[in-house]
Structure 1
Amino acid sequence: MPILESTYKPPFQFKNGFMATVYSGLLRKVHLDQERERINTKDGDFLDLDWSYCDASTRLSTSAKSDAVIILLHGLEGHAQRPYVTGTAKLFNQNGMDAVCVNFRGCSGEDNRFYRSYHSGATEDLEDVIQYCIQQKKYKTIYLKGISLGGNVVLKYLGEDRVIPSEIKAAIAISTPANLNGSATELHKMKNRAFAIRFRKHLLDKLRVKQKQFPERLKDKDLNEIKTLREFDEFYTSKAHGFKGATDYYEKCSSVQFLHNIKVPTLMISALNDSFLSPGCFPVKAAKHNDNLFLEMPNHGGHVGFIQKGDVYYNEKRALEFVNEHKK
């Protein structure tokens, strides 16, 4: 599919990628009423889902008023109340669709049950949510949207060797680190030092909570020695989820290797001034050879910072446009 020409033009002050990233991540506010529901995963853990509906009178105890839902996946150390997911949920609610914002394991304010938690390639949890939406909630039309780490999960899920449910009509991936090793390298550069320190602190805080449940596996000495995100992935992410190490985890979970197999219309939007993404995260060749993969690369936007006038961000508007174009 030809590369899409982007029409995104940010306000002047947000042409700077750092400013757009910081404002969107720390200062943006979105009001959205959500209802929490806990579901069990196939392996005996749980996921907390935060629902919002196109009809405010709908409650969990009743059947859905819409037959369409968008499943939203957050990024690294995010959660279902982050504005970059609630902004999309609100827009889709206003346009006749329900929304479910997924909290990855351990991200809903309560630690999950197992030593493992979530990672960039954990598509089995997305599969559980999709099946729940089809079997229990009876949705006939499902859209997927993942942001950053969540985008990698969405793309990997769609490109893996599995039968994709016919209810899934379209997908969107925003600011996706499709090449995890390349993105990890970028995050460790001086330009991203403030972000890397913040991510590491949040991740270690989570491990210290988990340490109370697994003190024999998470010792103070080991946690104190983790100085970088890569070291965190080497010590915990990779080993807790069955990989040999950080490099093995990055190689096996990078969605870029699965893009050729995507058969659902999928829109990728990644800004060329996104400091988190390496050149390998912009899959131009894959998009040109797959009629279902649409790649849009605005010059501006930073990392999930596609600010425009009004309350709706550019990537949210494009997500709605894209699903409307591919309704069946």
Structure 2
Amino acid sequence: MPIINSQFSPNFWFKNPHVNTIFSNRIKKQKTPKYFRKRFETLDNDFFDVDTILSESDTAVVILHGLEGSSKSGYILEIADYFSKMWDVWAMNQKSCSGELNLKKTSYHSGRTEELDFLLNKIIDNYRKIYIIGFSLGGNITLKYLGENAQELHPKIKAAVAVSVPVHLNSSVVTLQQRKNWFYQNDLLVSLKKKAIEKLRREDPDSAKILLMEKVTSFIEFDNLYTAPVHGFADADDYWTKCSSKQFLPAISIPTLILNAQDDPFLSNECYPYVEAIGNDQLYLEVPKYGGHVGFLESSGRDRWYLRRLMAFLKQY
């Protein structure tokens, strides 16, 4: 489809990508919707948790958070509250992100779609329509899932949105390693390393990997030491290459919006899939000049602009 001309226009301060990213996710007062938690036990004797807001609607929206986020992340709370006024909300927590470590050595990662597929199969019979919204890592999972399951996708899954999504993981990691983005990488690594060390100690308290993990200072080190070997990839580059959703975009068969700001500090140039969008009439690409990473605030006193944008897009289907 033609590239969408975005209408997002923030005030002066929120034209700074770091202000938009940090204020919206760390400072802005967040909504506090009342969740009801459901635990799903998976076929591999593990579990993941989903927080729900249910009102017997015939339509549901499944929401996926970003790296080291959860259903209680500010941007998830805000969109869950907003969409629950019309539809049932299923806010996923990836494994080990609900406040409790999962049971297995494996965890979640940018290309792991099993939990999304499991949840959709569990709830599909309860609804007339289902939409999927993914943020950042959750957006990559969403797009990968839609592409790799395009031929078998259930007809009740009507449309999807991916926001601030690193569709090309290899180059996004390089972008996050730049000095200007050091804060974001370090912030995420603190949480990732803590969980990984807990799991390593649970498996083998004397593991030499614990000391190595404590010394990790970058995503490439973390993914080489933990993500790749634990999940069956040869190394970090193999993991990023196989799990980047960009290669799956041409196959997507339902209306899908990708919303990536030009100034997103997490995204490389390869994360703006113009060619793929033009070549697939189900794929819509909107690239506002501003917005940061999962920010999109117009001013300090307003909700995120994309709430209205996403609702308008999904309601068409």
Question: What is the distance in 1 between the residues matched to 2:208 and 2:80?
Answer: 37
Q: Which structure 2 residue ranges, 5 or more long, are not aligned?
A: none
Query: What is the identity, as a one-letter code, of the residue corresponding to 1:235?
Result: L
Partner of 2:185: 196
TM-score by length of 2: 0.96
Counterpart Cα distance in 2 of 1:130 and 1:324: 19
RMSD: 1.3
The residue number in structure 1 matching 2:53 is 52
Partner of 1:173, secondary structure, is strand
Q: Which residue of 2 aligns with 1:58?
A: none
Q: Distance in 2 between matches of 1:12 and 1:52?
A: 36
Counterpart secondary structure, 1:84: helix
Q: 1:118 aligns with which of 91, 97, 108?
A: 108
Q: Is the 8 A contact 2:48 2:93 kept in 1?
A: yes
Indicate yes or no: 2:1 matched with 1:10: no
**3-state secondary structure, aligned to 1:110:** coil
Aligned 1:1-328 pairs, distance under 5 A: 1-28=1-28, 29-53=30-54, 55=55, 65-94=56-85, 96-135=86-125, 138-161=126-149, 163-215=152-204, 219-309=209-299, 311-326=302-317
Q: Is the 8 A contact 2:201 2:210 kept in 1?
A: no
SS at match of 1:213: helix
Q: Report the alpha carbon displacement of residue 27 of structure 1 after superposing the two structures with TM.
A: 1.5
Q: Partner letter of residue 273 of structure 1? A: D
Provide runs of 4+ in structure 1 moved above 6 Å. Answer: none
Q: Do the aligned partners of 1:72 and 1:102 also contact (CA within 8 Å) in 2?
A: yes
1:42 touches 1:128 (CA, 8 Å); kept in 2? no
The letter of the residue matching 2:146 is L
Cα distance in 2 for partners of 1:223, 1:212 equals: 11
Verify the 8 A CA contact 1:301 1:307 in the aligned structure 2: yes
Question: 8 Å contact 1:32–1:90 — kept in the other structure?
Answer: yes
1:217: how far off? 5.2
151-160 vs 317-326, which deviates more? Answer: 317-326
SS of 2:38's partner is strand
Any idea what the Cα deviations from partners look like across 1:252-307, whole Å, max 9, x if unmatched? 00000000000010000000000110011000000001000000000000001101
Question: Is the partner of 2:84 in helix, strand or coil?
Answer: helix
- Give the number of aligned pairs: 313
In the alignment, the residues of structure 1 paired with residue 208 and residue 37 of structure 2 have an alpha-carbon distance, to the nearest angstrom, of 30
Contact kept? 2:66, 2:135, Cα under 8 Å: yes
Shift of 1:84: 1.1
Aligned residues of 2:193 and 2:214 also touching (Cα < 8 A):
no
Aligned to 1:212, the other structure's residue is in SS state: helix
| Distance (whole Å) between structure 1 residues aligned to residue 277 and residue 209 of structure 2 | 45
1:241 Cα offset (Å): 0.7
C-alpha spacing 1:209/1:318, structure 2 compared with 1 (3 Å): same
Gaps of 5+ in 1: 56-64
Report the identity percentage.
Answer: 39
CA distance in structure 2 between the partners assigned to 1:90 and 1:139 by the alignment: 19
Q: CA deviation at 1:242?
A: 0.7
* AA in 1 matched with 2:314: V
Contact 2:201 2:207 in 1 (8 A): no
Paired residue type of 1:38: R
